[in-house]
């Protein structure tokens, strides 16, 4: 009797996103980012064969449920509503939502100053849900592409953007330099995890791989590379 451990090992399809800097993005036809590299290390430790599937964030949940992809690693925040539909790995990144205004704005100093203001964010994101619960806003504008929201903020077509802190910082350090700024403290703490469908066979293996790359210094090295000090 020969038993081959690899014979029926499936190649997992891993959903990533082409424009969520600096976590997962496409540049010059290449998939780049902290999450792309972290996943590579997790897959190595977990002995996982995979192929990356770039896709739109809005399609991820459906693609997981239909089996079009097996996993998603794309800055996906774990929360209760999503846990009703999907399973999540242990979190691998602690972060939160921040508020941004135009560089020269002085009247919006905190979330209590948003009365009659227009807030922009990515549609379907946790920031979109968060903004929708703030009282007395004029409007929450949902964008399919967060970069358009940052641009509209720079051009003063909206008063404020609420979105994920590290993505906002990346934009400020690149295209948004001198045009927009982060105001105040983190509004809502969130953590990112790998998502998969409920009743899957992978999460146990992935969690132990996440633990290993955290303990052996690999995570730290990647974190320093992408987020500096
Ligand atoms: N963390 C936020 C959420 O889970 C935003 C995610 C943005 N991710 C992306 N791939 N565009 O809703």
CATH code of 12-92+193-227, in short, is 3.40.190.10
Which atom, in ligand 1's list, is nearest to the CA of 24?
A: 10
Alpha carbon of 17 to ligand 1 centroid (Å): 9
Helical (H) or strand (E) element with 126: helix 126-132
User: Is 12-92+193-227's fold the same as 95-190's?
Assistant: yes
Q: Ligand 1 pocket check: which of 164, 166, 171, 189 to mutate, most ligand atoms within 8 Å of Cβ?
A: 164
Q: Between the CA of residue 30 and those of 17, 48, 52, 197, what are the distances in Å?
A: 12, 21, 11, 27
Strand ranges in 144-213 using DSSP code E only, listed in sequence order: 160-164, 180-192, 195-197
Cα separation, 33 vs 57, whole angstroms:
16
The protein residue whose alpha carbon is closest to atom 11 in ligand 1 is 20
Which atom, in ligand 1's list, is nearest to the CA of 192?
A: 1
Which atom, in ligand 1's list, is nearest to the CA of 146?
A: 11
Which atom, in ligand 1's list, is nearest to the CA of 167?
A: 7
Residue pLDDT, tens place only, 15-40: 999 999 999 999 999 999 999 999 99
CATH code of 95-190, in short, is 3.40.190.10
Paired tokens of 51: 């192929």
Residue pLDDT, tens place only, 49-102: 999 999 999 999 999 999 999 999 999 999 999 999 999 999 999 999 999 999
The protein residue whose alpha carbon is closest to atom 5 in ligand 1 is 125
Q: Which residues contact 28 (CB under 8 A, 6 or more apart)?
A: none
Q: Tell me if 128 sits within 8 A of 140, measured CB to CB.
A: yes
Alpha carbon of 7 to ligand 1 centroid (Å): 35
Residue 9 binned pLDDT confidence (cut-offs 50, 70, 90): confident
The domain locations on the chain are 12-92+193-227, 95-190
Residues having CB within 6 Å of any atom of ligand 1: 17, 20, 57, 74-77, 125-126, 164
Q: Between the CA of residue 41 and those of 31, 75, 160, 170, 184, what are the distances in Å?
A: 15, 17, 37, 23, 35
Alpha carbon of 123 to ligand 1 centroid (Å): 10
Residue pLDDT, tens place only, 168-185: 999 999 999 999 999 999
Report the complex ipTM. 0.97
Alpha carbon of 155 to ligand 1 centroid (Å): 24
pLDDT at 4 over 60: no
Placement of tokens 């896709």 in the chain: 55
């Amino acid at each position: 009797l020969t038993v081959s451990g690899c014979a029926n090992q499936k190649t997992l399809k891993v959903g990533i996103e082409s424009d969520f800097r600096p976590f997962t993005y496409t540049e010059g036809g290449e998939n780049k980012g902290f999450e792309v590299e972290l996943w590579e290390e997790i897959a190595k430790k977990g002995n996982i064969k995979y192929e990356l599937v770039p896709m739109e964030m809005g399609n991820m949940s459906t693609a997981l449920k239909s089996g079009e992809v097996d996993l998603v690693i794309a800055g996906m925040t774990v929360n209760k509503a999503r846990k009703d539909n999907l399973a999540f790995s242990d979190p691998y990144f602690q972060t939160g939502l921040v508020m941004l205004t135009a560089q020269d704005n002085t009247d919006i100093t905190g979330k209590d100053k948003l009365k009659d203001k227009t807030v922009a964010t990515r549609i379907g994101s946790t920031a979109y849900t968060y903004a929708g619960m703030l009282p007395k806003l004029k409007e929450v504008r949902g964008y399919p592409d967060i970069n358009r929201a940052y641009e509209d903020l720079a051009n003063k077509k909206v008063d404020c953007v609420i979105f994920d802190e590290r993505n906002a910082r990346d934009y400020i350090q690149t295209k948004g330099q001198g045009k927009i700024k982060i105001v105040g403290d983190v509004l809502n703490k969130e953590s990112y995890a790998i998502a998969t469908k409920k009743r899957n066979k992978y999460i146990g293996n992935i969690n132990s791989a996440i633990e290993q790359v955290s303990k052996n210094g690999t995570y730290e090295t990647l974190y320093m590379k992408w987020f500096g000090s």
